[in-house]
């Protein structure tokens, strides 16, 4: 049976643009209110306006997801300004292209802090609140197709996404008795500002004008494709959200036949 989403609230991190922004709009279209988080207040306000134009309520929280206390504040604002929350989409993250042996420990720790620990803290905190108030819910993390296999120079990013995938699967089993669904989301390459972020996390090895030229067209998709798949999952929960049958099949085959990853590594760099 489909779950009712109308008048329920979703908390979305990394909502300035890309998948987070598209998910906010897609959720608003089906009647959900949105607590929207991001680091760029101006871009965040623009996405919030799109949500309001669809007739839904929206609240904003700006800041870095690794900031102590931010995740508690996100849920507090959802409670006080939007009357609670039903779903949480831990979407904030970034990546860079670098061989594993050239990574500094600071780079690796920062990547895990943003992509894994901050996401984990948010969904775990949300789970505890839902359990305490005996409310149903739905928790999602934006993982990646690279949670199942990796590409050259993306080992660290893949490791963070694999960690998300495993935690989501375990939490799904652990929280089932509380009527809380958990899912990991596995996009393929999506046209966002993933490689184009400014500041300390920008991947200086990638030219913004060339960011996606190395990616075959069949491995590119729009953020709206992922957003619509997330809405379908919210309505009819599944353990993993995949937006490419080809990528999902490749992930399964590589798990069974690891040497296939060598072939893929030579073709996609």
**133, pLDDT greater than 50:** yes
Determine the average pLDDT of the residues in 253-264.
78
* Residue 2 belongs to a domain: no
Overall pTM surpassing 0.75 (yes/no): yes
Would 108 be classed as within a structural domain?
Answer: yes
* Residue 14, CB-side half-sphere exposure with 13 Å CA sphere: 24
Question: What pairs with residue 251 in β-bridges?
Answer: none
Q: Is 148 helix (H, G, I), strand (E, B) or coil?
A: coil
Q: What is the C-alpha to C-alpha distance for residues 146 and 178, in angstroms, rounded to an integer?
A: 30
Tens of pLDDT, residues 139-187: 999 999 999 988 888 999 999 999 999 999 999 999 999 999 999 999 9
Share of the chain above pLDDT 70, in %: 86
196: in domain? yes
Q: Is the pLDDT of residue 17 over 80?
A: yes
Q: What is the pLDDT of residue 196?
A: 45
Q: Is 253 left (phi over 0), alpha (psi -120 to 50) or beta?
A: alpha
Band the pLDDT of 209: cuts 50, 70, 90: very low
DSSP reduced 3-state for 25:
helix
Q: Would you place residue 211 in the very low, low, confident or very high pLDDT band (cuts 50, 70, 90)?
A: very low
Q: Please confirm, yes or no, whether 120 is among the known catalytic residues.
A: no
| pLDDT beyond 60 at 103 | yes
Residue 3, in any domain of the structure = no
Q: Do 122 and 90 touch, CB atoms closer than 8 A? A: yes
Instruction: Say which of 86, 94, 120, 157 is annotated catalytic.
Output: 157
Structure confidence at residue 206 (pLDDT)? 46
CATH code of the domain covering residue 243: 3.40.50.720
Could you identify the residue written with the tokens 């990528």? 247
Burial 250-268 (b: 16+ CB within 10 A, else e): bbeebeeeeeebeebeeee
In which domain, by residue range, is 203 found?
A: 9-267
Q: What percent of the chain has pLDDT over 90?
A: 72
Residue 81: per-residue pLDDT: 97
What is the Cα–Cα distance from 238 to 228, expressed in whole angstroms? 14
Is residue 180 one of the residues assigned to a domain? yes
The tokens for 54 are 């669809």
| Other C-beta atoms lying within 10 Å of the C-beta of residue 102 | 8
Would the pLDDT of 216 be above 70?
A: no
Domain tally, the chain: 1
* CA nearest neighbour of 16 among 73, 60, 69, 82: 60
Domain assignment present for residue 30? The answer is: yes
pLDDT tens-digit profile of 54-89?
999 999 999 999 999 999 999 999 999 999 999 999
What is the Cα–Cα distance from 77 to 35, expressed in whole angstroms?
8
- Please report whether residue 4 resides in a domain: no
Q: How many CA atoms lie within 13 A of 120 on its CB side?
A: 17
Q: Is residue 1 part of a domain?
A: no
Between CA 169 and CA 1 the distance in angstroms is 21
Q: What is the mean pLDDT of residues 185-196?
A: 69
Does residue 38 register a pLDDT over 80?
yes
pLDDT confidence bin for 205, thresholds 50/70/90: very low
């Amino acid at each position: 049976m489909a779950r009712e989403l109308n008048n329920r609230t979703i908390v979305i991190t990394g909502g300035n643009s890309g998948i987070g922004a598209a998910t906010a709009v897609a959720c608003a279209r089906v009647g959900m209110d949105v607590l929207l988080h991001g680091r760029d207040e101006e871009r965040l306000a623009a996405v919030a306006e799109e949500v309001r134009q669809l007739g839904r309520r929206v609240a904003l929280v700006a800041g870095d997801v690794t900031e102590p206390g931010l995740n508690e504040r996100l849920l507090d604002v959802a409670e006080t300004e939007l009357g609670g929350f039903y779903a949480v989409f831990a979407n904030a993250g970034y990546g860079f292209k670098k061989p594993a042996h050239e990574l500094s420990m600071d780079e690796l720790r920062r990547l895990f802090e943003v992509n894994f620990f901050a996401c984990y803290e948010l969904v775990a905190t949300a789970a505890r609140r839902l359990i305490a108030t005996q409310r149903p819910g739905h928790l999602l993390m934006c993982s990646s197709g690279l949670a199942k296999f990796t590409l050259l120079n993306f080992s660290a990013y893949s490791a963070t996404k694999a960690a998300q995938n495993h935690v989501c699967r375990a939490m799904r089993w652990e929280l089932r008795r509380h009527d809380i669904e958990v899912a990991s989301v596995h996009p393929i390459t999506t046209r966002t500002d993933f490689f184009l972020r400014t500041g300390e996390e920008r991947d200086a090895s990638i030219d913004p004008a060339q960011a996606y030229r190395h990616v075959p067209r069949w491995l590119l998709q729009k953020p709206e494709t992922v957003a619509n798949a997330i809405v379908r999952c919210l309505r009819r929960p599944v353990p993993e959200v995949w937006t490419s049958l080809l990528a999902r099949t490749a992930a399964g085959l590589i798990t069974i036949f690891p040497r296939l990853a060598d072939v893929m590594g030579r073709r996609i760099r």
